[in-house]
Copies of this chain bind each other. A is one copy, B any other.
Amino acid sequence: MKGNKLSRRSGARSVDVVVIGAGFAGLTAARALEAQGLKVQVIEARDRVGGRSRPGKLFGRTIDTGGQWVGVGHERLTRLVHEAGAELVPQYSVGKKLVQINNKTRYYSGLIPPVSVRALIEMQFALWRLTALQRKIDPKVPWQSTLANLDTQTVADWQRRWLRSDGAQALFDIGVRAIFCAKPGQLSMLHFLTYLRANGSFNYLASAEGGAQAATVKGGMHQLSVHLAKKLQQKILFGAPVQKITQSSKGVVVTHSRGNIQAKRVVLAVAPALARKIEGDAMTTARRRLGERMPMGSVIKCLIAYKRPFWREQGFTGEFVSNTAGFSPMFDASPADGSCGILVGFFDGPTAVRWSSDADGRRREVIRSVVAAFGAEGENPVDYVDHDWITDPFSEGCYVGLPAPGALTELGASLRAPHGRVHYAGTETASEWIGYIEGAIESGERAAIEVCAAL
């Protein structure tokens, strides 16, 4: 839903609740509030709904240049898929997967990656250890756990201690970068464990079958935000970045680029790193500071199309991970009927930053990586599209905000606590499925309940 038609409306002057942000969190909150009979206005900086999900076109097909996968157990999102009349397509995973470590490529089927026995044993022990640690954390209040001191350690530190072999180090690195779009050395160990706990486990997060990348939505994730927006009967104001929020005992005034609006309550449904830029008293100093110490991950999502999914003919799933190729991880994103071949993949963490200023270069690097993985046929794509989430001004990165070491214990308590008339939503504020669309929806539901209880 482009906002061209809608954005000419100037929006209401006074409502019960202003919802800032028309991603999954904001739309969910708005819909729940409206269902309670409240007058709602959604204000969105972009000219579209969907936030960190984003539609695109490739070789005539609608594809996702943002959030794409539905994980096992993502119940709210699955319900929404059904409600919207959409269809889940299992992630294609028939055949061999490719792992490239230090430029040496190997393939495997099933669950056991082709690394040394020592690496496998180390990795398995490390995963057991992580599972034992994450059990001690309540993802609602990780700063209260007995492990809170791990907030002053990085994941790299832990990795150095428990993973010694090259193979295990590399597998762990690849996994962390794919999950967080960041290197282990910048992540707080407490936040890492919180994230694993909120999302099942490291294995769940890294997996297609049975994991976070289990299925995609036929026709694209974006139709679900459009579906949510339709239910709101055009109460969304587009192209209006919020500049200031001012609270008083009587109410709250939201000033945006095209005017201002009075409300009883506000739901601020944007990532903390973005929210901090709003002036006035939308948040405490602690919440603002948290935004400053919780930058978004770095990622460029790329999709490349071929006439046929030629890797399938060679017995490959299309899955390729590497600790050296720029473009990794990579997955099959072809239409279910196999009528053309599409590969989707990411530049994540430092490689995303490196290729951010070079659109031509990264296209070549994508092709180079496909050739390295699946052979010379990769040289002849029929279409290509990408989206650099780092330079997207209303995202500043993806998939999710990453509290730097020390930030959670010092400032985490301000993440979800309402401040006066302002309530916070967005996947960063979720207490389960943090970082996923499922978490965004959960946070929107929770914020709506908070607001209803307060009104």
Contact for A286 among B157, B289, B353, B409, CB less than 8 A? B353
- 27 CB-based A-B contacts, threshold 8 Å: A152-B154, A152-B183, A152-B184, A152-B185, A152-B186, A153-B153, A153-B154, A153-B156, A153-B157, A156-B406, A157-B157, A183-B406, A183-B410, A186-B293, A186-B404, A186-B406, A187-B406, A284-B356, A285-B356, A285-B357, A285-B391, A286-B353, A289-B390, A292-B296, A292-B396, A404-B404, A404-B405
CB neighbours of A303 from chain B (8 A):
none
Say how far A262's CB is from chain B's closest CB, in angstroms. 23
Say how far A403's CB is from chain B's closest CB, in angstroms. 10
Residues A249-274 near B (CB distance < 8 A): 273
Residues A401-421 near B (CB distance < 8 A): 404-407, 409-411
Nearest CB in chain B to that of A350: its residue: B410
Say how far A192's CB is from chain B's closest CB, in angstroms. 13
Interface digits, A71-102 against B, CB 8 Å rule (1 contact, 0 not)?
00000000000000000000000000000000
CB neighbours of A13 from chain B (8 A):
none
Nearest first, the 9 closest Cβ-Cβ pairs linking A and B are A186-B406, A152-B185, A285-B356, A152-B156, A185-B406, A404-B404, A292-B295, A152-B154, A350-B410
The answer to whether A61 has its CB under 8 Å from any CB of chain B is no
Answer whether A284 and B157 are a contact pair too, CB < 8 Å, given A185-B409, A410-B183: no
CB neighbours of A187 from chain B (8 A):
406
CB neighbours of A393 from chain B (8 A):
279
Nearest CB in chain B to that of A411: its residue: B353
Nearest CB in chain B to that of A391: its residue: B285
Tell me the complex Cα distance, A393–B278, Å.
Answer: 11
Interface digits, A97-118 against B, CB 8 Å rule (1 contact, 0 not)?
0000000000000000000000
Tell me the complex Cα distance, A342–B22, Å.
Answer: 52
Say how far A272's CB is from chain B's closest CB, in angstroms. 12
Interface digits, A47-65 against B, CB 8 Å rule (1 contact, 0 not)?
0000000000000000000
Contact for A353 among B182, B185, B279, B289, CB less than 8 A? B289
Q: Is the CB of B295 within 8 A of A405?
A: no
CB neighbours of A356 from chain B (8 A):
284-286
Interface digits, A151-162 against B, CB 8 Å rule (1 contact, 0 not)?
111101100000
Number of A interface residues in the complex (CB < 8 A): 40
Q: Is the CB of B292 within 8 A of A406?
A: no
Nearest CB in chain B to that of A349: its residue: B410
The answer to whether A354 has its CB under 8 Å from any CB of chain B is yes
CB neighbours of A410 from chain B (8 A):
183, 185-186, 349-350, 353
Say how far A406's CB is from chain B's closest CB, in angstroms. 3
The answer to whether A328 has its CB under 8 Å from any CB of chain B is no
Tell me the complex Cα distance, A435–B353, Å.
Answer: 26
Say how far A360's CB is from chain B's closest CB, in angstroms. 15
CB neighbours of A152 from chain B (8 A):
154, 156-157, 183-186
Residues A381-440 near B (CB distance < 8 A): 390-391, 393, 396, 404-407, 409-411
Which residue, of A152, A154, A156, A396, has the highest number of chain B Cβ atoms within 10 A?
A152
CB neighbours of A349 from chain B (8 A):
410
Residues A137-178 near B (CB distance < 8 A): 151-154, 156-157
Tell me the complex Cα distance, A407–B273, Å.
Answer: 17
The answer to whether A298 has its CB under 8 Å from any CB of chain B is yes
Q: Is the CB of A284 within 8 A of B357?
A: yes
CB neighbours of A153 from chain B (8 A):
153-154, 156-157
Tell me the complex Cα distance, A309–B182, Å.
Answer: 53
Known: A153-B154, A153-B156. 11 other contacts (CB 8 A): A152-B185, A154-B154, A154-B405, A157-B157, A185-B409, A185-B410, A285-B353, A285-B356, A292-B296, A353-B410, A404-B405
Nearest CB in chain B to that of A273: its residue: B292
Nearest CB in chain B to that of A393: its residue: B279
CB neighbours of A273 from chain B (8 A):
292
CB neighbours of A295 from chain B (8 A):
289, 292-293
Tell me the complex Cα distance, A320–B160, Å.
Answer: 40
Residues A293-308 near B (CB distance < 8 A): 293, 295-296, 298
Tell me the complex Cα distance, A154–B185, Å.
Answer: 10
Tell me the complex Cα distance, A153–B187, Å.
Answer: 10
